[in-house]
Amino acid sequence: MAVAALQKNRPVDGFNDKEKAKRIIKWIRRTDSRVRRKLGFLKYQNEIGFGITIGSAFGMILLGGLYIAGLIPFWACIVGNGILASFLHEMEHDLIHSLYFKENPKMQNFLFWVVWLFRANTVNPWFRKEIHLLHHKLSGNREDIEERFISNGMPFGWRRFLVMVDPIMAVVLQGPRIRKDAIHYLKKIKASPIKGPFRSIFLLLWYSFLIWGFFSGVNWLLGNPVKESGWAQSLHSFLNTAAVVYLIPCWLRQTSIQIVSSNMHYYGDVKGLYQQTQVLDSWWVFPLHLFCFNFGATHGIHHFVVSQPFYLRQMVAPYLKPVLKRYGIRFNDFESMLHGNRYEKDPVGFLEPA
């Protein structure tokens, strides 16, 4: 019905970008209200958010326990925990926008701790809250700390690939440039990017697993497999188990969303809200979307209206995609990935230095 009514509206060719954005926002809010009226349980937003958070955390513990007990294969644990971790990421994002327990800071902080400790390869949510709200104000600009740290705007190539898949490379390759471009905003951030040893412990375990695995693999290929015993065997067994139940799922989730998010946001020549994002819903993005909750296909809606919980945004997305198309929001603009996520097809004058 919404799509049929939309087709009867007058042509949008004469609208400028601001007018198109206003009409998209109206359609999102109208659809949102209709779904909320139809599904009365959505009014229990705090309870739903709490249930998703605790349920996802316990789900990760359960799958890890089933794997350790030998009741499920390693791949089932990795895939399942990667998906559950993506729910927790969406919950963190909603909490950043105060969509749950707005009048209860203690409960918000408790949920922040849960969603972070089950994805400890990320910066803590208190720091991320500040850079994410800044992202909404300055999306597509040099000062957009959050997106630039995951490679948005970088030229296509191996440096960008390393930034998308490795947190240390992100700091090494992007950190100095971002500090130079966004020093004014970085000075205003109150939360520390380091809160406790949790991320450091994750990275220590992760790189130990990678290095040890690489060393063992090379020796095996050379016909001289490493013979482990005693504490070395026990430590290697622990690393392998930790990798299956926690390290690899968290890395899969983080890498998937960084690839999708950094490429669905435009950069460098963005002139307003209307040009900030595209929609990525091509079939070949599905493996990434599996571990980032269909992010590329729906996150553009969030940029227009930030007050929707992530599960409601998924519900309304099928009704809103025709609206986005009609008002000219780009779909699957993969060409932009080849020229630093520029909105204009001719990127001359906007490219970041390699």
DSSP 17: H
CA pair distance 62, 44, nearest whole angstrom: 26
Checking if the pLDDT of 346 tops 80, the result is no
**What is the pLDDT, as a whole number, of residue 1?**
46
**What is the pLDDT, as a whole number, of residue 329?**
97
Most confident region among 136-140, 211-215, 344-348, 349-353 by mean pLDDT: 136-140
CA pair distance 293, 83, nearest whole angstrom: 8
Q: Which of 122, 118, 117, 125 is nearest to 59 (CA)?
A: 118
Can you tell me the mean pLDDT for 290-308? 97
The 10 Å CB-count burial string (b at 16+, else e) for 53-69 is: beebbebbeebbebbee
Q: Is residue 351 part of a domain?
A: no
Can you tell me the mean pLDDT for 184-200? 94
Q: Is residue 62 part of a domain?
A: yes
**What is the pLDDT, as a whole number, of residue 218?**
83
pLDDT digits (tens, 9 = 90+) for 135-188: 999 999 999 999 999 999 999 999 999 999 999 999 999 999 999 999 999 999
pTM of the full predicted structure? 0.93
**Computed from CA positions of residues 139, 145, 147, 151, in that sequence, does the dihedral angle turn out positive or negative?**
positive
**What is the pLDDT, as a whole number, of residue 221?**
83
Q: Is residue 354 part of a domain?
A: no
DSSP 307: T
Q: Is residue 106 part of a domain?
A: yes
Tell me the sheet residues that pair with 331.
Answer: 279
Choice between 228 and 263, residue whose per-residue pLDDT is larger:
263
Q: Is residue 41 part of a domain?
A: yes
Instruction: Please count the other Cβ atoms lying within 10 Å of the Cβ belonging to residue 49.
Output: 23
Q: Judge whether 260 and 289 are in contact, CB under 8 Å.
A: yes
**What is the pLDDT, as a whole number, of residue 171?**
95
| C-alpha to C-alpha distances, 105 to 54, 110, 150, 204, 307, nearest whole angstrom | 17, 9, 29, 32, 18
Q: Is residue 124 part of a domain?
A: yes
Q: Is residue 251 part of a domain?
A: yes
pLDDT digits (tens, 9 = 90+) for 4-15: 455 455 567 789
Q: For residue 273, what pLDDT band results from cuts at 50, 70 and 90?
A: very high
Choice between 216 and 262, residue whose per-residue pLDDT is larger:
262
Can you tell me the mean pLDDT for 194-198? 93
CA pair distance 144, 154, nearest whole angstrom: 13
Q: 130: left (phi > 0), else alpha (psi -120 to 50), else beta?
A: alpha
CA pair distance 326, 340, nearest whole angstrom: 26
**What is the pLDDT, as a whole number, of residue 19?**
96
CA pair distance 246, 88, nearest whole angstrom: 13
Q: Judge whether 264 and 339 are in contact, CB under 8 Å.
A: no
**What is the pLDDT, as a whole number, of residue 217?**
85
In terms of C-beta density within 10 A (0-12 exposed, 13-18 middle, 19 or more buried), how is residue 293 classed? buried
Residue 200, domain extent: 17-338
Q: Is residue 350 part of a domain?
A: no
Number of domains in the chain: 1
Checking if the pLDDT of 351 tops 60, the result is no
Checking if the pLDDT of 354 tops 60, the result is no
Q: Name the average pLDDT for the chain.
A: 93
